[in-house]
Chains A and B, each alone.
Chain A
């Protein structure tokens, strides 16, 4: 039972991080209607920014996280302006290849600056909390708490503010949004900024229990794609539920099946589901 609860905790940790990354991806998809492969590199850039702020500038973990959010939001907006905006009328294949171009540039850039070594990110929350026979590492609790707080805040923003509503409106219907006078450029930039900030913060949350390295975003982004295909491309609740499903599948799979193959589980799940339901689990219709 304790081991089972431990896996629940692991599932929540992974699920929280995946949901944050998938949320940004799904928002951008809603606006762009193209998968942004560079999102994984944004995640990586977040971890490196925080790492730099903490080790070189000597600031604490929370400044690191704030810095990462700002830096990645900037990178994200820049790529929208410089790359995706000029391409908005191009075929989807060109968008996709361009996003891969950004991904490769950021990864190779990080490697050129910081080298190919793995880095460990220090966290102030190294304590182990005892709770009813369960050993809970503080960082994991922090990840779960922060991830769900961010998800809730984003939901509030999208649902309760006018700016948030414009994002939802544009994701649902671009032409309609333009007709009622929504400034598409502003919304696109805002969406990219939010997506980038979420990816950056997710990376800083997860990095202390993982490691910081240049290709750290690759597996995470691929899983985020699995999540938003599962949850329906462009769907915010889908990204949250999908994130939890994959997080739990991976935690329990690693424990009950094999640690070696835990990374394959998410992909195998996708292959299985798409074989049966090509439109994804919750998708209302194929895009």
Chain B
């Protein structure tokens, strides 16, 4: 895993992703991968509020649907150009996130999750019943694809794939910057202990709200991308099941890491693709898998790996420290390291 602490590892992944359309057997594989990337963007967002800030948001797919419907409604009913609608998808989701967060983030731990679960249901039910705005259960048909640039036509699977990949890379880079910044450290401090963070002078509400808005901004953009990619949306996008899916991706890879949710979001859908029988019954396997993961591998594949590496380093540091007893700083940093 040393590889992924370096830029080389990430560049290798990027090279693989860029080469994928030439390796993939057919267009169907491209479509599967592009969809996985879109959900990866949303999962990266969910990981910011859940993995890094410690607030488990159950309305995440609702916010993704808000983004998708913003694009759908604006482009189909109001002929707004795709890219403007797309940008607004993120903005509308974040703005809604501000109001939802204002109320919900005052609630601690599982109260926040219960509240957001209800918000998720309200979003789903509103999308289904508010026919004059959302077209109800019929859904919105004929959403335009992103407009073509020169000869690059975004209704074709390949250009589509690269476009989605571009957004995924951008999202990862932005998330990397956030997590490595003081702001990211602040979020992690809140995750590791509300009271302690507050004692350190961190404004809990302001930072949680910021994390929440950033998180759902990603969900909104992912939803907007989804609308332009699939070009048909129905209330199902808002289904809480999708939030559960994203939780799955996050946990398999490793919650609170940058690489984990990405690998989970790409790996798990591929696994389901190959086990065709799973399609409808994926949760027969996913459900117990979630349980097994939280019991035996709570930090996921990437997180567990990183923890093990850290422990080795800590042991090495300890050995070094015992031979030179004055150097205590190395022990405390090694012990204080979280799985972030």
Which positions in A face B, CB cutoff 8 Å?
34-35, 82-83, 86-87, 90, 92-94, 96-98, 100-109, 111-112, 116, 218-219, 222, 225-226, 229, 233, 260-261, 263-264, 267-268, 270-271, 274-275, 278, 286-287
Contact = CB atoms under 8 A, between A and B. Distances in A.
A229 B111 contact: yes
A171 to B, nearest CB: 16
Contacts of B108: 286-287
A271 B119 contact: yes
Contact of B287 (A93, A103, A219): A103
Chain B CB within 10 Å, residue with most, of A34, A101, A263, A274:
A101
B106 A108 contact: no
Contacts, number: 119
Contacts of B298: 90, 94
Contacts of A271: 103, 115, 118-119, 122
A96 B116 CA distance: 13
A152 B251 CA distance: 42
Interface residues of B, number: 40
Given A87-B294, A90-B298, A97-B294, A102 B122 contact: no
B283 interface: yes
B113 A112 contact: no
B118 A225 contact: yes
Interface in B112-160: 113-115, 117-119, 121-122, 125-126, 129
Nearest to B117: A222
Contact of A278 (B107, B289, B294): B107
Contact of B125 (A35, A108, A264, A270): A264
Main SS of the interface on chain A? helix
Contacts of B289: 101
Contacts of A225: 114, 117-118
29 contacts: A93-B50, A94-B295, A96-B56, A101-B286, A101-B291, A101-B294, A102-B287, A102-B291, A103-B287, A104-B283, A104-B290, A105-B283, A105-B284, A105-B288, A106-B287, A107-B283, A109-B284, A111-B281, A225-B114, A229-B114, A263-B121, A264-B122, A264-B126, A267-B118, A267-B121, A270-B118, A271-B118, A271-B119, A274-B104
A263 to B, nearest CB: 6
Contacts of B291: 82-83, 98, 101-102, 105
Interface of B: 50, 54, 56, 103-104, 106-111, 113-115, 117-119, 121-122, 125-126, 129, 240, 244, 247, 251, 280-284, 286-291, 294-295, 298
B290 A97 contact: yes
Nearest to A280: B111
B261 to A, nearest CB: 14
Contact of A104 (B50, B54, B129, B244): B244
A83 B298 CA distance: 13
Given A86-B295, A264-B122, A92 B290 contact: no
Contacts of B281: 108, 111-112
B54 A93 contact: yes
B110 A104 contact: no
A287 B110 CA distance: 10
Contacts of B280: 111-112, 116
B114 A108 contact: no
A124 B125 CA distance: 34
A267 B50 CA distance: 23
Q: Lowest 7 A-B CB distances belong to which pairs? A: A105-B287, A101-B290, A108-B283, A104-B287, A104-B283, A101-B291, A94-B294
A108 to B, nearest CB: 4
Given A94-B298, A271-B103, A286-B108, A112 B118 contact: no
A283 to B, nearest CB: 10
B284 to A, nearest CB: 4
A261 B294 contact: no
Residue among A93, A105, A268 with the most chain B CB within 10 A?
A93
Contacts of A260: 129
Given A34-B110, A101-B288, A108 B282 contact: yes
A268 B109 CA distance: 21
Most buried by B among A82, A261, A274: A274
Nearest to B251: A97
B74 to A, nearest CB: 24
Contacts of B111: 229, 233, 286-287
Contacts of A111: 280-281
Contacts of B54: 93
Given A268-B122, A275-B103, A100 B247 contact: yes
A278 B105 CA distance: 10
Contacts of B240: 218
B286 A263 contact: no
Most buried by B among A83, A97, A108: A97
B214 to A, nearest CB: 20
